[in-house]
Amino acid sequence: MRYLPNSCLVFFFLFFSLFHNLSCASTEKELGWCQAQFQCGNITAGFPFSGGIRPQLCGHPLLELHCFKNTTSIIISNNFYNVHNIDQTSNTLRITKAELQSSFCNGTFTTATLPPEIFELLPAYKNLNVFYLCDSKLPYRSSYTCPGRGPVSVSQNLDYQNSCQGSFTMNVPKSYVPEEKELNLTQLENTLKEGFEVKVKIDEKACQECSSSHGICGFENTKQVCCNEASSSVCNTFHPSNGKFLNYQTSSLTSYTEIENLYSP
Ligand SMILES: *[C@@H]1O[C@H](CO)[C@@H](O)[C@H](O)[C@H]1NC(C)=O
Ligand SMILES: *[C@@H]1O[C@H](CO)[C@@H](O)[C@H](O)[C@H]1NC(C)=O
Ligand SMILES: *[C@@H]1O[C@H](CO)[C@@H](O)[C@H](O)[C@H]1NC(C)=O
Ligand SMILES: *[C@@H]1O[C@H](CO)[C@@H](O)[C@H](O)[C@H]1NC(C)=O
C-alpha cells in the first residue's frame, strides 16, 4: 500500500472527488426529507430519529428505526429491540429486547448495554441479574430450570457469582421483585413483554432554536447540526459549551487529504 503508484493516487483522487460531489448532491436532496416523519404502524417519529423515509443524516446514528410488518424496531449495541411506543414530547421510548419477548429460556443470555451517551433508563426501571450455568447441586432463590440449560436464577444482587459460571443483566420495572423460592417464569415473561422505558439524551433546545430560524436539524455522525434550508451544504455544528451553533462548511479537500495521508510513506 505504501508504494502505491501515482496513477493509483490520481484514481483515488478522481474517485473521491466524484464520490464527494455525488454525496453532496444527495445530501441536499436528503435534508429536505428530514421534515418527513418516520411512520410505522401507529408509531410516528421525527428528529432525532432516522429510518423509513428519513435519511440517516436526519437522526443520531444510534437512533435508526426500522419497520417490518407495522412493527418498529431499533438495534442497540447489536441487540434487536422492538419499539412499542415513542413519546416525542418527553423523548422516551418503550422497548423490549426482541429475543426475550417470546421465550426467556431460548434467549441468548447476553447483556444488552445501553450506550450511556444517548440512552438513559427511566427511574421506574432497574437492572436485574440473571445467573446461569449454575452448579445444579446447590440451591438457588428465584430459580427455574430451563430445558437444556440447567438452573437459572434471577437476583437483584451478585450472590451467585461464585456458584454460576454465566450471568447477564436485563431491564425490568422496579416493581418487579423476584419471588423467594421458585421463579414464576410466566410472570417474568409477561414483565419482559411489557418492556422498559429509556430517555433519549438529545439537546432539544438546540434543535428548536434551529427550526425557529428555518434550519433543518440533522447529524454529522454523532454531532448535532443545524443546516440551512436554502443551501444545505452549509451546516452549523452545535457547540455544547456556549449553546451556540458554530458555522462550518464541509470541505471537499478533507477526503482527499485523508486518503493521501493513508498512502504517504
Ligand atoms: C399501537 O398498536 C398496538 C397494537 O398494534 C397497541 O398495542 C398499542 O397500544 C398502540 N399504541 C398506541 C400508542 O396507540
Ligand atoms: C399495516 O397497517 C396498515 C394500516 O393499519 C394495514 O392496512 C396493513 O395491512 C398492515 N400491514 C401489515 C403487514 O400488517
Ligand atoms: C425453544 O427452543 C426449543 C428448541 O430449540 C423449541 O422446541 C421450543 O419450541 C422453543 N420455545 C419457544 C417458546 O419458542
Ligand atoms: C405466576 O404468575 C402468573 C401471572 O402473574 C399467575 O397468574 C400465576 O398464578 C403465577 N403462578 C404461580 C405458581 O404463582
Nearest-angstrom CA–CA distance, 196 and 90: 15
Lowest mean pLDDT among 133-147, 162-176, 200-214, 250-264: 250-264
Which atom in ligand 4 lies closest to the alpha carbon of residue 185? 1
What's the CA gap between 1 and 68, in Å, rounded? 43
- Give the mean model confidence (pLDDT) for residues 81-108: 92
Q: Is 162 or 243 the better-scoring residue by pLDDT?
A: 162
Cross-strand partners of 237: 225, 246
What three-state secondary structure class fits 247?
strand
Q: Which residue has better confidence, 205 or 173?
A: 173
Runs of H (alpha helix) within the chain: 6-32, 98-102, 185-194, 204-212, 252-263
Query: What pLDDT shows up at residue 240?
Result: 46
Q: Closest residue (by CA) to atom 3 of ligand 1? A: 42
Q: Which ligand is nearest to the CA of 41?
A: 2
Residue in the block written with cell 426482541: 98
pTM for this one? 0.77
Find the residues whose C-beta lies inside 6 A of ligand 1.
Answer: 41-42, 85
What is the residue whose three cell numbers read 490520481? Answer: 10
Q: Which three cell numbers stand for residue 167?
A: 450471568
| Cell numbers for 104 | 426467556
Please list every protein residue whose CB sits less than 6 Å from any atom of ligand 3: 102-103, 106
**Taking 90 as the threshold, does the pLDDT of residue 193 lie above it?**
yes
> Is-contact 146 152, C-beta < 8 A?
yes
Q: Looking at the CA of 42, which ligand is closest?
A: 1
Q: What integer pLDDT is reported at residue 192 of this predicted model?
A: 94
Nearest CA to ligand 1 atom 12: 42
CB 154, CB 178: distance < 8 Å: yes
